């Protein structure tokens, strides 16, 4: 009987061990299956546009069904590629800053040249205006001198008594000299 009991105990232990082993194996199976499913879903990105036109990106699909759902493979992070991209971005920003500075200098030079040209044109216009004023003053002065000369000539003709030329005007008689012995 003791042997029988012992056999029963060993059988019961085997049964419980099998049951525990089966439970462990099932747990391992489900955990492996879960990790495979999670790994498969982990690498996907979902993209869709809602009815308002807003674009959404997510690693989980939308709760409500949408018409334009697209799946994209997630690109894993690469530190070297990211560093190269950042260096390229820095180079591009520097080139853009240099280009903007060159454009600013060019515009400033154009503005300075335009202002210098306008100042030169203004100076020339002012010089031409002064020259015209001086020429006009000189012409007026010459005209005044001509009028003055004409006036003086006309005045002389007025006060001269040309008796022989104008009828009705006689010249006063010339005084006769007194004889030299009488006085």
Tokens of 101: 């500075």
| 166 band by pLDDT with thresholds 50, 70 and 90 | low
Higher pLDDT, 50 or 37: 50
- Domains of the chain, by residue range, sit at 1-42, 44-76, 78-147
User: Can you name the residues that pair with 57 across neighbouring β-strands?
Assistant: 47
- Name the pairing type of β-strands 44-49 and 55-58: antiparallel
User: Can you name the residues that pair with 49 across neighbouring β-strands?
Assistant: 55
| 154 band by pLDDT with thresholds 50, 70 and 90 | low
Q: What are 91-143's pLDDT values in tens digits?
A: 999 999 999 999 999 999 999 999 999 999 999 999 999 999 999 999 999 99
Q: What is the pLDDT of residue 44?
A: 78
pTM: 0.36
Q: What average pLDDT does the segment 54-65 reach?
A: 82
Q: Tokens 């099998």 label which residue? A: 18
């Amino acid at each position: 009987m003791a042997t029988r009991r012992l056999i029963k105990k060993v059988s019961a232990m085997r049964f419980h061990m099998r049951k525990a082993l089966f439970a462990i194996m099932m747990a391992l199976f489900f955990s492996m299956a879960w990790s495979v499913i999670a790994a498969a879903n982990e690498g996907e990105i979902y993209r869709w546009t809602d009815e308002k036109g807003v674009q959404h990106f997510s690693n989980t699909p939308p709760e409500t069904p949408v018409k334009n759902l697209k799946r994209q493979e997630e690109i894993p992070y690469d530190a070297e590629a990211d560093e190269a991209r950042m260096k390229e971005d820095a180079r591009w920003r520097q080139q853009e800053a240099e280009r903007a500075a060159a454009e600013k200098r060019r515009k400033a030079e154009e503005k300075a040249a335009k202002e210098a040209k306008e100042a030169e044109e203004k100076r020339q216009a002012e010089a031409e205006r002064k020259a015209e004023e001086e020429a006009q003053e000189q012409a007026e002065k010459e005209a005044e001198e001509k009028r003055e000369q004409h006036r003086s000539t006309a005045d002389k003709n007025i006060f001269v008594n040309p008796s022989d030329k104008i009828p009705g005007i006689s010249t006063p008689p010339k005084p006769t000299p007194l004889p030299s012995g009488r006085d």
